[in-house]
Amino acid sequence: MDPLLLAVIIVTGVTIAAIVVMVLLRRNGSSEVTALTERLTQMTELHAASQVQLAQQLQAQERALAKSLDERLTQTTRRVNETLEKNSHTQKTSLDELKERLVRIDAAQKNISELSSQMVGLQDILSNKQARGAFGEVQLYDLVSKVLPPGGYETQTTMGNGRRADCLLKLPNPPGPIVIDAKFPLESYRALQNAKNNDARKAAGRAFAVDVMKHVADIAEKYILPGETADAALMFLPSEAVYAELHANFAEVVDKSYQAKVFIVSPTTLWATLNTVRAVMKDVRMKEAAGLIQSEVMTMMADVQRLDKRVSHLQRHFDQAGEDMREVRISAGKISKRGENIQNLEIEGPAADEESLLSSASAPTPQK
């Protein structure tokens, strides 16, 4: 039961008891009054003790409640601080990532803007026929210069018939020099791609085939010269899309170009072709240098034989020097031995003289 409610009940009971006592005092005698007074005194004492006990319980509960509230407040404060710190760290990380992404987006936007301007410039170049031709030639020169050595090709070479070739591959006979001419039939290709219906597509396809065959015929006529060039030439298309369309849907045009000995190449296929040409040139240079290499090898063999002969002479000198050293050591050994003998004679000399004197003294004097 709640202590506060218990206290209220006790106070109410005591009040009621006091009122009852006062009423009885008025009605009854002194003996009953004395008994009631004693009873009231006991109840008062019990009430006082109950109040003291209640006060102690209330203080204990108040202290426990205050302690519990402090602990819970401390835990709540710690959790709130941890949550705020975690949220702050998360927000800071998110903001840093957002800034980094914004920087990347800004850089990508700049790249897109630059690419857009470059695409506009490329479109302007491709829309002009002369600029488009120069674009194809530049792409051709770039490919050739990256694959072949400087002496393996020539650009803007004037042929014997007065025609100027975009690039001439200087291959030996056979097959001989090969001409590469850059062509870009862009108008007919765009018309083919922009065709709205089958009739328009067929008409654009015929125009595209005629345009390509015209370039093939021009190259075969201008750049396949008997006795001067190989019996074939290369037509360079600086667009993989045009090359793919041609080989995918115009096989008859490709076959006619083969018959005319004009081989159509794209940047990718030209790269492979140029690598093959480089291997051929390297093999030819190796064959041309074979005689020189053989002559150098023969000269080197003569030098080796001469060196072997000189080493043999030097070996004989070393052998003779070794024999001389052996004889010198023998002579030195004899000299050392003689020196030891001489030293022994010096040590034994006085004793020998004394013995000879004694023997001469003891000998009889010869008669005259």
DSSP labels, 203-221: HHHHHHHHHHHHHHHHHHH
Residues 158, 286 within the same domain: yes
Which amino acid belongs to residue 351?
Answer: A
End of a domain among 292, 315, 330? Answer: 292
Quote the distance between the C-alpha of residue 19 and its chain's center.
103
Across residues 185-195, what is the average pLDDT? 80
Over range 99-107, report the average pLDDT.
83
Look at residue 30 in the predicted model and tell me its pLDDT.
57
Lowest mean pLDDT among 10-14, 105-109, 126-130, 147-151: 126-130
Q: Which of 68, 91, 114 is the last residue of a domain?
A: 91
Look at residue 70 in the predicted model and tell me its pLDDT. 85
Whether 18 maps to a domain, the answer reads: yes
Please tell me whether residues 37 and 153 are part of one structural domain: no
The CA radius of gyration of the chain, in Å to the nearest whole number, is 63
Mean pLDDT (whole number) for 40-63: 79
Q: Where are the alpha helices (DSSP H) in 128-197?
A: 129-147, 186-193
Contact assessment for residue 264 and residue 257, using Cβ atoms and an 8 Å cutoff: yes
- Listing DSSP states for 298-364 in one string gives HHHHHHHHHHHHHHHHHHHHHHHHHHHHHHHHHHHHHHHHHHHHHHHHHHHHHHHHHHHHHHHHHSP
Confirm if 144 and 234 have CB atoms less than 8 A apart: no
Question: Which residue among 292, 314, 333 closes a domain?
Answer: 292
Distance (Å, rounded) from C-alpha 192 to C-alpha 203?
Answer: 8
pLDDT, position 85: 85
Same domain, 245 and 139: yes
Please give the angle made by the CA atoms of 199, 202 and 204, to the nearest 5 degrees.
105
Strand partners, 200: none
Average pLDDT over residues 354-362: 45
pLDDT in tens, 205-234: 888 888 889 989 998 888 888 888 888 899
Residue 330 domain flag: no
Query: Which range, of 251-255, 276-280, 284-288, averages the lowest pLDDT?
Result: 284-288
Please report the pLDDT score of residue 175 as a whole number.
Answer: 79
Does residue 312 lie within any of the structural domains?
no
Share of the chain above pLDDT 90, in %: 0
Q: How many CB atoms lie within 10 A of CB 328?
A: 10
Query: What's the pLDDT score for residue 368?
Result: 37
Q: How far apart are CA 23 and CA 18, in angstroms?
A: 9
- The rounded distance, in Å, linking the Cα atoms of 213 and 247 is 14
Provide the CATH number for the domain around residue 224: 3.40.1350
Three-state DSSP at 235 gives strand
In a shared domain, residues 74 and 186: no
| Residues 83 and 205 occupy one common structural domain | no
Which among 83-92, 115-124, 255-264 has the top mean pLDDT?
255-264
Answer for the pair 219, 246: CB distance below 8 angstroms, yes or no.
Answer: no
* pLDDT classification of 125: cutoffs 50, 70, 90: very low
The domain of 30 spans 3-91
Mean pLDDT of 30-50: 71
Residues 138 and 265 in one domain: yes
134 in the same domain as 273: yes
Over residues 290-309, mean pLDDT = 82
Confidence bin at 121 (pLDDT 50/70/90)? very low
Cα–Cα distance between 251 and 267 in angstroms, integer? 19
In terms of domains, do 134 and 75 share one? no
**Per-residue pLDDT, 188:** 80
**Whether residue 192 sits in one domain with residue 76:** no
- How many domains, the chain? 2
The answer, yes or no, to whether residue 259 has pLDDT greater than 70, is: yes
Q: Which phi-psi region, left, alpha or beta, contains residue 222 (left: φ > 0; alpha: ψ -120 to 50)?
A: alpha
Q: Is residue 75 part of a domain?
A: yes
Question: Predicted confidence band at 193 (pLDDT cuts at 50, 70, 90)?
Answer: confident
Comparing 250 with 122, the larger pLDDT belongs to 250
Residues 140 and 186 in one domain: yes
Residue 2 confidence class, pLDDT cut points 50, 70, 90: low
> Is residue 235 situated within a structural domain?
yes
Note whether residue 303 is domain-resident: no
Domain membership flag for residue 252: yes
Axis crossing angle, helix 129-147 with helix 267-288, rounded to the nearest 10: 40
Mean per-residue pLDDT over the chain, rounded: 77
Contact predicate 212/200, CB 8 Å: no
Is the domain of 133 the same as that of 282? yes
Q: Tell me, rounded to whole angstroms, the distance of Cα 265 from its chain centroid.
A: 33
Rounded to whole angstroms, the Cα distance separating 212 from 198 reads 21
What is the Cα–Cα distance from 355 to 296, expressed in whole angstroms? 87
Judge if 63 and 133 occupy the same domain.
Answer: no
pLDDT score of 355 more than 60: no
Residue 349 located in a structural domain: no
